[in-house]
Structure 1
């Protein structure tokens, strides 16, 4: 018994920085106990949003000249693998932490495959996941979060999510009647039907309108396909061109954005190291199944953690529902994609925009009130601009440049007290000298 205890010590030591949660043992029972109309509707909306995000992958693959068969398998793997991890993470922590993949990473992945090859790109994905795991096990995410403070993170989030708000109102220009019907249904139900979640009412009204207006479903086709195993290969070029930037995106953008959203919605703590660890492990698994990453899903986190998802202690159910929808829909995504194609594009745009309204408002409030005002403003502007530098998208640069500018002109707003205290404890003589 003593030897078993000693054998477990290295593992326990390496895992000590990962935050503890309520666990999975009672999760199924608690899920049924906490399930209600609010978190169910938010989960369904977030799940639909996640399914529609597959269109981004297909568009990126098409633009890069990749075969349609590859892109479809890519989306199937995205949904199935991330759906599985999306069942575990929110259930273990009882927090609204839906899992998906990095959209900036997806764009990099599609662009690099014609250059280095699919197997080499997946090898770089595997290395990026390993870097994320090391960062999480070392407990460095707390330092990352201090280097990129909340106002700067929320500035990036507000800039990224702003397009969802503008996309919601743009149909008023070319699809006035359905847009007015759906948006009006949302606010009228929020005002007069308080026991029925307004997103549910909006979904029902929207679907009814589409059916009555004669949406064409003739192109909808049934198909079934599971993820397929593929062996990664390794090259320095692929790692430098894609693997290292992907690791920076996962650690420096995706986790801070998700943690920022959760805290912005009133949760005091969010397991930053564990989120990064799960994303890293998921990314390593993804590398063997034609997928580029696993991480917390910022827009869906916004939907699942918003007030529309009900009370704080039950919003985690919405994230689990997203995972269920992903796993169930993945093998049938060929059918789902053809169904989404049959619906007008503004349908998802309006639903997603309405679901994120209060999240955008909260992100704006945190961005422009308090410390790091200059850095947060630049973070917001860079995220809104959509610029790309070295092929890396605006979300990443919003965090990096926003933090750099804030450190240059607002250094006193940074709090490194914990790091200084830790340094004093480790090197008392040096700190005294």
Structure 2
């Protein structure tokens, strides 16, 4: 691959890592603390998860030459926020994390399940991806409404780049965003006080309370709201990785991070669209360096978590979301095109799209899963109806 071919995917991967980290790291720390983790244990959990994600991104994509991306389970930590501290304290939480990780490994080893996941119809997968991307793609418009002085120059830089250097429109917008943040962000006094996160090993304790309240729901939420949408993102962008090995690797990674206070890791979904989509590179075969770059950024963010947390927490979150939305516009367009291309599956795809975009949470499981279920169910119903023979005409 020529040197010039590396620049675009590397920038896309770096953006994906920054967006993934910046958008939810505070949620991770809050969830771990709410489940009983001490500040040191919460910091250790975030540190270990960043390291595991970085290693998986680098190792898997560089070996397979497919832009497979990994992230932490955002729906999982959102669920964890609602649970509270179980009987047995944080060691019991670590034990529940290990149970969830073991179930993810089993999901990868049970071949019928993996085949079922790989059989998701392409229009439904594209519709799910479009629904997931819609909210973030609206962020640039929201940013213009909320802070036009900062957001308009970013959009202008992106538009100019789109006109004169289309491949580098998003990197140009990233540079413009960095300049805007540097000029507008002021760290509070004492924001950088404190040491870097340190590793704090935890001896897991297995309690029925924590397993039922945390372990089993964490497994379901991670599979339904992260791993399945993550595979759908890959399929929507023309990649068909084998699900089973990916589930096994994320399960093993989750088990290792649980020993240091970390929660589940899984296939990335929204940030995966940045790495696997056309903005990473026009040629799908040249997109694999994007997750590698993301992995390097995660490894750099891990020891400097306090510095990154202080700077990003002080920056307007909408600006970070806005540049991510710009990066995902072409992925949204491609996903919508793929979802609506098949007339027979058009209505089921729309059901999947609107359900996913709604953001509903039912039984602790996020909207992408219910969009997937609703779209496939309607598609099956329509195909069964089409296969029925018309009634005979009476003579």
Normalization by structure 1: what TM-score? 0.79
CA drift of 1:68 comes to 4.9
Distance in 1 separating the partners of 2:160 and 2:305 = 34
2:373 is the alignment partner of 1:395: no
Q: 2:273 aligns with which of 267, 281, 302?
A: 302
Give the 3-state SS of the residue equivalent to 1:100 in structure 2.
Answer: strand
Distance in 1 separating the partners of 2:337 and 2:140 = 20
CA drift of 1:65 comes to 8.4
Q: 1:57 aligns with which of 4, 28, 46?
A: 28
Change (3 A) 1:413 1:122: farther
* Long gaps (5+) in structure 1: 1-29, 415-433
Residue in 2 that maps onto 1:102 = 73
Q: 1:84 aligns with which of 30, 44, 55?
A: 55
Distance in 1 separating the partners of 2:213 and 2:385 = 35
Residue in 2 that maps onto 1:137 = 109
Residues 337-376 of structure 1 mapped to structure 2, 5 A cutoff: 337-370=309-342, 371-376=344-349
Residue in 1 that maps onto 2:8 = 38
Normalization by structure 2: what TM-score? 0.86
2:187 is the alignment partner of 1:217: yes
**Equivalent pair of 2:75/2:226 in contact (CA under 8 Å):** no
CA drift of 1:303 comes to 0.5
- Number of residue pairs the alignment of both structures matches: 380
Residue in 1 that maps onto 2:354 = 381
CA drift of 1:46 comes to 0.8
CA drift of 1:348 comes to 0.4
* Long gaps (5+) in structure 2: 388-395
CA drift of 1:119 comes to 2.4
Superposed CA offset, 1:255-285 (max 9, x none):
3322222222233x32222221211111222
| CA-atom RMSD in angstroms | 2.7
Distance in 1 separating the partners of 2:245 and 2:255 = 15
Distance in 2 separating the partners of 1:297 and 1:97 = 8
**Equivalent pair of 1:250/1:276 in contact (CA under 8 Å):** no
**Equivalent pair of 1:34/1:314 in contact (CA under 8 Å):** no
Residues 149-228 of structure 1 mapped to structure 2, 5 A cutoff: 149-194=121-166, 197-212=168-183, 214-219=184-189, 220-221=191-192, 223-228=195-200
Superposed CA offset, 1:21-52 (max 9, x none):
xxxxxxxxx8x978621011111111211220
CA drift of 1:235 comes to 2.6
